[in-house]
Amino acid sequence: MPACPLTGGERDGRFGVFGLLLGRVQREGAGRNLTCAPQPEDEEDEEPALEELEQREVLVLGLDGSGKSTFLRVLSGKPPLEGHIPTWGFNSVRLPTKDFEVDLLEIGGSQNLRFYWKEFVNEVDVLVFLVDSADRLRLPWARQELHKLLDKDPDLPVVVVANKQDLSEAMSMVELQQELGLQAVDSQREVFLLAASIAPAGPGFEDPGTVHIWRLLLELLS
């Protein structure tokens, strides 16, 4: 089932309220003189308007330290940063494809920011939820937050990323599926669990899991 694009008015309004850096305001206002009415031009001098690509919105969530910011950096072709720098607020990346543009919006995973998560779930086309596979202590919290989001929008496709699978203490995919309660999710719902190692691992490191995640996102967004 392909994800259905949201109506522009409601989606744009919600994103504008929280001042998210999706570039929509800048793009629509670029080059305009708000104090002067546009002057008519000769038809022969007019250039054909470039067709604007449709937007698809992907919400990237997860507890702090799960690897959300690094995930966005890797998808945008940037190397991972060493060390953990928590996101205090919002972070976004726009990635163009042949048929549409993908806006990936990350909201910080600290406790005081999780309150805002539910405000955006109904405004996006796909949810990506990252889990630290090696953080057994906080896995129950991750499960609780994930199921809150699943309950908020029963039709939203969800991609659960089991991150840091390269660590020796990482839980297996079978164990994570059980601990996250994914086996109890309605079988008709689009919920995917994918492994990844989105973390600094030396020069030239490329995680094949990230490639699979991106391909799945494009399939869900098409």
The per-residue DSSP string of 40-92 comes to P--GGGPPPPPPPPEEEEEEEE-STTSSHHHHHHHHTTPPPPSS----SSEEE
Residue 39 labeled ligand binder:
no
Q: For residue 156, give every residue at least 6 positions away whose Cβ sits within 8 Å of its Cβ, in sequence order, or none.
A: 3, 121, 122, 124, 126, 127, 149
Q: pLDDT at position 187, please?
A: 82
Residue 109 labeled ligand binder:
yes
* Residue 66: inside a domain: yes
pTM for the complete prediction?
A: 0.75
Q: pLDDT at position 130, please?
A: 97
Residue 165 labeled ligand binder:
yes
* Residue 41: inside a domain: no
Residue 33 labeled ligand binder:
no
Residue 68 labeled ligand binder:
yes
Q: pLDDT at position 25, please?
A: 27
Residue 7 labeled ligand binder:
no
Pairing of strands 191-195, 90-96: unpaired
Q: pLDDT at position 27, please?
A: 34
Q: pLDDT at position 13, please?
A: 36
In whole angstroms, what is the distance from residue 79 CA to residue 136 CA?
27
Distances from the Cα of 46 to the Cα of 41, 42, 172, angstroms = 7, 7, 60
* Residue 30: inside a domain: no
Q: Which two tokens stand for residue 215?
A: 């391909």
Residue 166 labeled ligand binder:
yes
* Residue 3: inside a domain: no
* pLDDT tens, per residue, the chain with 222 residues: 433 333 333 333 333 323 333 333 233 333 333 233 344 455 555 554 556 889 999 999 999 999 999 899 888 888 766 666 666 678 899 999 999 999 999 999 888 889 889 999 999 999 999 999 999 999 999 999 999 999 999 999 999 999 999 999 999 999 999 999 999 898 888 999 999 987 655 554 456 678 899 999 999 999
Q: pLDDT at position 6, please?
A: 30
Instruction: Give how many domains the chain has, as a whole number.
Output: 1
In whole angstroms, what is the distance from residue 154 CA to residue 186 CA?
9
* Residue 35: inside a domain: no
Q: Domain residues for 172?
A: 10-25+53-221
Q: How crowded is residue 24: how many other Cβ atoms within 10 Å of its Cβ?
A: 17
Residue 152 labeled ligand binder:
no
Contact 171, 163 (CB under 8 A): no
Q: pLDDT at position 53, please?
A: 84
Residue 66 labeled ligand binder:
yes
In whole angstroms, what is the distance from residue 182 CA to residue 83 CA?
30
* Residue 47: inside a domain: no
* Residue 71: inside a domain: yes
CATH number of the domain at 21, please.
Answer: 3.40.50.300
* Residue 105: inside a domain: yes
Which residue in the block uniquely carries the two structure tokens 């719902």? Answer: 189
Q: pLDDT at position 188, please?
A: 83
Residue 63 labeled ligand binder:
yes
Residue 78 labeled ligand binder:
no
In whole angstroms, what is the distance from residue 149 CA to residue 61 CA?
10
Virtual torsion, Cα 141, 147, 153, 159, nearest 10 deg: 80
Residue 69 labeled ligand binder:
yes
Residue 222 labeled ligand binder:
no
